[in-house]
């Protein structure tokens, strides 16, 4: 989602892990078999993509899980990993994990046995449960130093905190939410409607990926603020930039549908009869919540409320970048995260 986070991506020198013969940073896959979802449905031949960065210490106490944002991949997370970046792989063993339905892990676009809309609906809890199985059964890691994520990665972080409260020491949800606000639900439903009512949709059995123009236009409207967009663009350039956005928007529409449905269903308070207070009381990790006041993609109200209930550390970004604030204000965010992880 936050495409500007990946524009300056730089490949880091591969490091041979001490515990495996696999080269770090390469795309890897974990085969989870037939994975049962919370709904009772099953993802057949479920695969989870991931990459590792840095070195695992002797007592396995330096593991940081870094899940992807919406439509993002572990490849795109690379630019946020390294000394002076969002998470330092010279100190931590970072597991960057591809969320379900991102086109790398099991998704409508790549499932052999459940292609397209026969791929079952997923929840954010399902996404986190597959990651828990990756860590415990494939990587043999039974505890995390931290979970850290941006946007939908922040949503996964909130879900981790409540689903597996004893599994991590610290958590850093950035521009995420424990449950989407009404405005968020509306804007995501509008994006779904753009796909479902596109002439090329054909119930998901399309030959032309539908609603790519709408995808680019929603991104232009929502990812930043009017003030920031007007400063960065011009009357002459606006349509050229949208056309360029269409060309860059290759994310599969069916994959997007399942990820959006997972985000819209997110509510960490659901097992507690809708009580955020009870959900917050379950959290044991030390938590650092980062929000942007002008975020139009994940409005900050629910995260702020949850932070208050947890008495969590809080960083409120007040610039004009909106949902892009974690990258626009990286000079503020990255050192703050580093300080929280190390204190």
Shortest CA distance to 6 belongs to which of 80, 87, 66? 80
In this structure, of 103-107, 242-246, 284-288, the range with the lowest mean pLDDT score is: 242-246
So what's the pLDDT on residue 9? 31
How many domains are there within the chain?
A: 2
Residue 25 and residue 71 in one domain: yes
Q: Looking at residue 84, what DSSP letter applies?
A: T
State residue 86 phi and psi, 5-degree precision.
-65, -40
pLDDT exceeds cutoff 70 at 2 = no
**154 and 8, same structural domain?**
yes
| Angstrom distance (rounded) from CA 31 to CA 210 | 30
Give the range of the structural domain holding residue 70, as residue numbers without chain letter. Answer: 3-180+267-342
Mean pLDDT of the chain: 92
Same domain, 228 and 284: no
Of the residues 203, 225, 256, the one at which a domain ends: 256
The rounded distance, in Å, linking the Cα atoms of 22 and 181 is 42
Sheet containing 28-36, strands listed edge to edge, beginning at the edge strand earlier in sequence: 28-36, 42-53, 93-97, 63-67, 144-150, 168-174, 286-292, 313-317
Return the exposure string of 224-255: e unless at least 16 CB atoms fall within 10 Å of the residue's CB, then b: bbeebbeeebeeeeeeeeeeebeeebebbbbb
Q: Write down which residue in 227, 256, 285 finishes a domain.
A: 256
Residues 216 and 173 both lie in one domain:
no
Query: Do residues 312 and 171 share a domain?
Result: yes
The answer to whether residues 286 and 214 belong to one domain is no
312 falls within a domain: yes
User: Mean pLDDT lowest for which of 20-29, 141-150, 235-244, 267-276?
Assistant: 20-29
| Residue 60, C-beta contacts closer than 8 angstroms, at least 6 positions apart | 141, 142, 143
- Boundary of a domain, candidates 229, 256, 283: 256
Residue 84 shares a structural domain with residue 170: yes
pLDDT of residue 250: 77
Which residue, among 185, 187, 195, 194, has the nearest Cα to 252 in the 3D structure? 195
Alpha-carbon gap, residue 204 to 89, rounded angstroms: 40
Q: Roughly how many angstroms between the first and final C-alpha of the chain, as a whole number?
A: 30
Residue 261 inside a domain? The answer is no
CATH code, domain with 310: 3.40.50.1820
Residues 16 and 147 in one domain: yes
Amino acid 233: pLDDT: 87
- Proportion of the chain above pLDDT 90, given as a percent: 84
Pairing between β-strand 93-97 and β-strand 144-150 as defined by DSSP bridges:
unpaired
Whole-prediction pTM: 0.92
Residue 155 maps to a domain: yes
Local confidence band at 16 (pLDDT 50, 70, 90 cut-offs): very low
Query: Could you tell me if 158 and 286 lie in one domain?
Result: yes
Residue 7 has pLDDT above 50, yes or no: no
Relative to beta strand 93-97, strand 42-53 is antiparallel
């Amino acid at each position: 989602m936050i495409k500007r986070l990946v524009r300056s991506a730089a490949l880091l020198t591969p490091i041979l892990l001490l515990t495996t013969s696999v080269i770090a940073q390469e795309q890897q896959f974990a085969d989870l078999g037939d994975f049962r979802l919370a709904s009772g449905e099953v993802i057949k031949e479920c695969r989870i993509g991931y990459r590792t960065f840095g070195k695992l210490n002797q007592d396995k106490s330096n593991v940081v899980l870094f899940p992807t944002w919406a439509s993002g991949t572990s490849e795109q997370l690379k630019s946020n990993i390294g000394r002076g970046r969002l998470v330092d792989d010279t100190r931590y063993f970072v597991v960057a994990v591809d969320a379900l339905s991102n086109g790398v892990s099991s998704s409508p676009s790549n499932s052999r046995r459940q292609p397209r809309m026969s791929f079952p609906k997923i929840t954010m809890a399902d996404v986190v449960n597959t990651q828990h199985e990756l860590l415990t059964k494939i990587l043999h890691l039974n505890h995390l130093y931290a979970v850290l994520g941006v946007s939908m990665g922040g949503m996964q972080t909130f879900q981790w905190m409540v689903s597996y409260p004893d599994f991590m020491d610290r958590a850093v949800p950035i521009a995420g939410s424990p449950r989407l606000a009404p405005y968020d639900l509306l804007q995501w439903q509008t994006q779904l409607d753009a796909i479902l009512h596109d002439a090329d949709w054909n119930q998901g059995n399309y030959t032309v990926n539908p609603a790519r123009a709408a995808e680019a236009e929603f991104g232009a409207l929502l990812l930043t603020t009017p003030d920031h967009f007007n400063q960065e663009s011009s009357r002459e350039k606006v349509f050229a930039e949208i056309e360029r956005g269409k060309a860059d928007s290759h994310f599969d529409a069916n994959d997007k549908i399942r990820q959006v449905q997972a985000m819209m269903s997110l509510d960490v308070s659901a097992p507690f009869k809708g009580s955020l207070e009870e959900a917050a009381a379950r959290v044991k990790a030390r938590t650092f919540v980062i929000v942007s006041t002008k975020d139009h993609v994940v409005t900050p109200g629910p995260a702020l409320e949850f932070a208050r209930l947890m008495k969590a550390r809080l960083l409120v970004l007040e610039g004009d970048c909106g949902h892009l604030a974690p990258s626009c204000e990286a000079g503020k965010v990255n050192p703050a995260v580093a300080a929280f992880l190390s204190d």
